[in-house]
Amino acid sequence: MRIDSSFRRRPRLSAAAAALLTAGVTVTAAHVASAATTGCEVGYTVTSQWPGGFGASVSVRNLGDPINGWRLTWSFPAGQTITQLWNGSPAQSGSQVTVTNASYNDAVPSGGSADFGFNGSWNGSNPVPSDFALNGVTCTGGVTSPSPTPSPTPSLTPSLTPSPSPSPTASPSPSASPSPSASPTPPSQPAIDNNFPVTREGAYGTNRYTVFRPTNPSAVGRPMPVLVFGNGACAHTNGSEVIQALTFIASRGFVVVDTASVDGSSNGVQSGSPIPSLLTDGISWAERENARTASPLYQRLDLSRVAAAGHSCGGLEALVAAQDRRVKSVVSLDSGFFADGSFGYPRSELSKLHTPVMFMDGGSSDIAYDNTRANYDLAQVPAVLAEQSQAGHVGFITGAQMSEGMTAVVQFLDMTLNGNATARSYILGSSGLAARASWTVRSKNF
């Protein structure tokens, strides 16, 4: 379901002031004080909706003078609630919502836009809000120009010489024609177009994780999303199998925390059975590292944009870890809950998911093929099933399909964490992933 509502009115420009000449009197011109021109336009789009939940994107266009620091307010008409938000900081009291800028998008030039997205919950109906205000100014789609403010009463001094014949009354200057609205700012660059150098290192303070990150975090330009990853066979020591795949993801501007020691050395964790808490503890590690002043990731992580992913047994870990409210997206590679509840996790666990999920399998030769399909069918949240018929069980991780498989993962994360429209088209559109050879894509609840 898509509801697009933009509230706009053509801007009106004030007419120029007419000159005033008075016979026999010298008039000292009034000084006009300057004041800010204000105006804004909001586009609110419901990008996906499912029972009890929805996703939305919001674009706030500044029609007035440049601003440094913004605050958008509105009231939900049917008691909707924001559950997560990216590219801003939300606060909600009852139906009243306030979203303030993030540290990296506070400045909005005249004609420029600030964009953010969020997921929310609803009950009964999900109508579009209509009472947006930017920094206290109602967004009507028009511009409010300040009224000229004269200085104190002008002095009237008698003329010492005869005044000339009165000049004809000056005609007001014609009103300027309203200028057309400026084009919206283009969407941010898709993550898949990035190619940052990557550093692979052991996690600070523990031997239980390997971290893949852009070598120069400041080059990314804004705080980075975090992905916690579970390895195939629930390998909790040796993560060599996933080095190439996770380097690919990190080079696109993500910080990846993998559940294995950096050098394959013993870390006190057994392998072979799912331990979902390793992934959720990896999120907690990222939170600490974001707050540690000596860390290269200090205040470089956006912990409102966290995802879980994993391959095979690690995919099962990711599906359980994704029940953590800090997780906003999940990817299951060649995996899923078993019908017989193997490993102690029945398929009823799928009902606990609260975020979008993408299931990927390698076709009928993938041992997880039937399991993956069954999990997709049972998912109640927005879900994608992406199948590459030639990949088998390990093609996305170590095979010839690694690049296109990890491209699909990056695009899904860019869509669900960053709200990128180009990535959304790639995942859900008919000309994106579905148009590639050997791929079949299904989706629901978006």
| pLDDT tens-digit series, residues 347-385 | 999 999 999 999 999 999 999 999 999 999 999 999 999
Average pLDDT for 256-274: 95
Question: Would the pLDDT of 163 be above 90?
Answer: no
> Under 8 Å CB-to-CB from 161, ≥6 apart: which residues?
none
**pTM beyond cutoff 0.75:** no
| CATH match of 191-444 with 3.40.50.1820 | yes
Tokens encoding 295 = 């860390």
Q: Would you state the pLDDT for residue 50?
A: 82
Q: Would you state the pLDDT for residue 208?
A: 96
What is the fold of 3-8+37-144? Immunoglobulin-like (2.60.40)
| Residue range(s) of every CATH 2.60.40.290 domain in the chain | 3-8+37-144
| Residue range(s) of every CATH 3.40.50.1820 domain in the chain | 191-444
Q: Would you state the pLDDT for residue 191?
A: 96
